[in-house]
Structure 1
Amino acid sequence: MRMIPPKCPLLWQLLTSVVCCSLWNVFTLCEAKTVVVSFDGFRWDYMHIYREQLPTFWKLAEEGVHVEQGLINAFITKTCPNHRTISTGMWEENHGMVANNFWAPDVNASFDFSKNNFSFWKEAEPFWTSAEKQNVTSVCLQFPGCAVKEQQATYTLGLPYSNDYSWKSIVDNMTLYFNKEQNPAQFAVLYYYEPDHTGHEHGPHSDEMRAKLVEVDGYLEYLLSKLSTEHDDVIITSDHGMASVSTDHVISIQGYLNESYYDHAFFSAYTEALLYSKNGFHDMLMQDVQHFINDHPNFTAYSRADIPEHWHYKYNERIPDILIVADYGWLLVDRQDSIDYLKGKNIIGQHGFDNLRLEMHPVFVARGPSFRKNFTLPPGQMESVDIYPLVGSIVGFATDKTNGSLSHVLPLLASSSGKTSSLTQLVPMYVVELGGSLLILLALCLVYSLFILVTGRDCCLRETEEASKKRMYLLPSDLDDEENDDQLFSLEEKEQASMPFLQKDRNKTRLTSQHS
Structure 2
Amino acid sequence: MKLCSQYSGVPLDRYSTKGQQKLLLISFDGFRWDYDRDVETPNLDRMATDGVKAKYVTPPFLTITSPTHFTLLTGRYIENHGVIHNMWFNIKTGEKQPYYATQFKNEWWDNGSLPIWITAQRQGLRAGSLHFPGTQSTYQGESQTVKDVEPRFYDYKNETKWRENVDKVMDTWFGEMDLDFVSLYFGEPDSTGHKYGPDSHERREVVKQVDRTVGYIRSSVERNGLSDTLNIIITADHGMSNVYRNGLVNEITLSKIPGFSFNDIAFHLVDFGPAGMLLPKTGMLDKVYNALKGAHPHLHVFKKEEMPERLHFAKNNRILPIILFSDPGYVINGFFPVQFHAGEHGFDNDEMDMKPFFRAVGPAFQKNLEVGPFETVNIYPLMCHILGIKPEPNDGHLDATKHMLVSATEEDSQDINSNIFVGLAAVAGFLVVVFIVLVSLNASKKETNYRGSDKSAPPRGKDETHQTAF
Shorter-chain TM-score tier: 0.7 to 0.9
- How many residue pairs get aligned? The number is 376
CA distance in structure 2 between the partners assigned to 1:230 and 1:282 by the alignment? 58
Shift of 1:87: 0.8
Q: How does 1:264-413 map to 2 (within 5 A)?
A: 264-290=267-293, 293-294=294-295, 296-339=296-339, 341=340, 348-379=342-373, 382-413=374-405
CA distance in structure 2 between the partners assigned to 1:162 and 1:362 by the alignment? 24
Shift of 1:123: 2.9
Distance of aligned partners of 1:108 and 1:328 in 2 relative to their CA distance in 1, 3 Å threshold: closer
- One-letter amino acid matched to 1:149: T
Selected match of 1:99 from 75, 85, 88? 85
Distance of aligned partners of 1:134 and 1:162 in 2 relative to their CA distance in 1, 3 Å threshold: farther
Shift of 1:119: 1.9
Shift of 1:103: 4.2
Partner of 1:158: 149
**Aligned-partner SS, 1:403:** coil
Residue 217 (structure 1) aligned with residue 211 (structure 2): yes
Residue 131 (structure 1) aligned with residue 125 (structure 2): no
CA distance in structure 1 between the partners assigned to 2:408 and 2:105 by the alignment? 39
Partner of 1:251: 252
Shift of 1:287: 3.3
Partner of 2:235: 237
CA distance in structure 1 between the partners assigned to 2:204 and 2:300 by the alignment? 34
Does the 8 Å contact 1:67/1:364 carry over to 2?
yes
Distance of aligned partners of 1:105 and 1:333 in 2 relative to their CA distance in 1, 3 Å threshold: closer
Does the 8 Å contact 2:118/2:143 carry over to 1?
yes
Residue 179 (structure 1) aligned with residue 168 (structure 2): no
Structure 2 unmatched ranges of 5 or more: 1-16, 412-470
- One-letter amino acid matched to 1:252: T
Partner of 1:4: none
Shift of 1:218: 0.9
Residue 119 (structure 1) aligned with residue 107 (structure 2): yes
- One-letter amino acid matched to 2:303: S
- One-letter amino acid matched to 1:48: R
**Aligned-partner SS, 2:317:** coil
Q: Deviations over 1:171-193 (max 9, x none)?
A: 1221212233xx53121100000
RMSD: 2.5
Shift of 1:229: 2.9
CA distance in structure 2 between the partners assigned to 1:86 and 1:350 by the alignment? 21
Shift of 1:417: 8.8
CA distance in structure 2 between the partners assigned to 1:172 and 1:101 by the alignment? 31
Q: Deviations over 1:317-348 (max 9, x none)?
A: 11121111101221111132514x46xxxxx1
Q: How does 1:16-31 map to 2 (within 5 A)?
A: 30=19
Does the 8 Å contact 1:237/1:364 carry over to 2?
yes
**Aligned-partner SS, 1:264:** strand
Distance of aligned partners of 1:317 and 1:78 in 2 relative to their CA distance in 1, 3 Å threshold: same
Partner of 1:12: none
Shift of 1:236: 0.4
Distance of aligned partners of 1:159 and 1:105 in 2 relative to their CA distance in 1, 3 Å threshold: farther
CA distance in structure 2 between the partners assigned to 1:191 and 1:163 by the alignment? 13
- One-letter amino acid matched to 2:163: K
Does the 8 Å contact 1:244/1:329 carry over to 2?
yes
Q: Deviations over 1:292-313 (max 9, x none)?
A: x42x221121111111110001
Does the 8 Å contact 1:102/1:266 carry over to 2?
no
Q: State TM-score, norm by structure 1.
A: 0.68
Distance of aligned partners of 1:81 and 1:29 in 2 relative to their CA distance in 1, 3 Å threshold: closer
CA distance in structure 1 between the partners assigned to 2:409 and 2:304 by the alignment? 42
**Aligned-partner SS, 1:149:** coil
CA distance in structure 2 between the partners assigned to 1:221 and 1:118 by the alignment? 35
Distance of aligned partners of 1:385 and 1:325 in 2 relative to their CA distance in 1, 3 Å threshold: same
Partner of 2:461: none
Partner of 2:53: 66
Distance of aligned partners of 1:244 and 1:108 in 2 relative to their CA distance in 1, 3 Å threshold: closer
Distance of aligned partners of 1:206 and 1:124 in 2 relative to their CA distance in 1, 3 Å threshold: same
**Aligned-partner SS, 2:263:** helix
Q: Deviations over 1:243-298 (max 9, x none)?
A: 122223443223444233222101143211210122222122223324xx42x221
Partner of 1:82: 68
Residue 194 (structure 1) aligned with residue 194 (structure 2): no
- The range that moved more, 127-136 or 163-172, is 163-172
Shift of 1:374: 0.5
CA distance in structure 2 between the partners assigned to 1:209 and 1:48 by the alignment? 12
CA distance in structure 1 between the partners assigned to 2:346 and 2:76 by the alignment? 18
Partner of 2:42: 55
- One-letter amino acid matched to 1:254: S
Q: Tell me the percent identity.
A: 30
CA distance in structure 1 between the partners assigned to 2:132 and 2:173 by the alignment? 16
- One-letter amino acid matched to 2:46: K
- One-letter amino acid matched to 1:240: H
Does the 8 Å contact 1:102/1:274 carry over to 2?
no
CA distance in structure 2 between the partners assigned to 1:365 and 1:106 by the alignment? 43
**Aligned-partner SS, 1:276:** strand
**Aligned-partner SS, 2:408:** coil
**Aligned-partner SS, 1:176:** helix
CA distance in structure 2 between the partners assigned to 1:111 and 1:137 by the alignment? 32
Shift of 1:56: 0.3
Does the 8 Å contact 2:60/2:376 carry over to 1?
yes
- The range that moved more, 348-357 or 56-65, is 348-357
Distance of aligned partners of 1:106 and 1:177 in 2 relative to their CA distance in 1, 3 Å threshold: farther
Does the 8 Å contact 1:72/1:383 carry over to 2?
yes
Partner of 1:456: none
**Aligned-partner SS, 1:415:** helix
Does the 8 Å contact 2:18/2:387 carry over to 1?
no
Distance of aligned partners of 1:358 and 1:142 in 2 relative to their CA distance in 1, 3 Å threshold: same
Distance of aligned partners of 1:29 and 1:306 in 2 relative to their CA distance in 1, 3 Å threshold: closer
CA distance in structure 1 between the partners assigned to 2:73 and 2:236 by the alignment? 11
Partner of 1:14: none
Partner of 1:44: 33
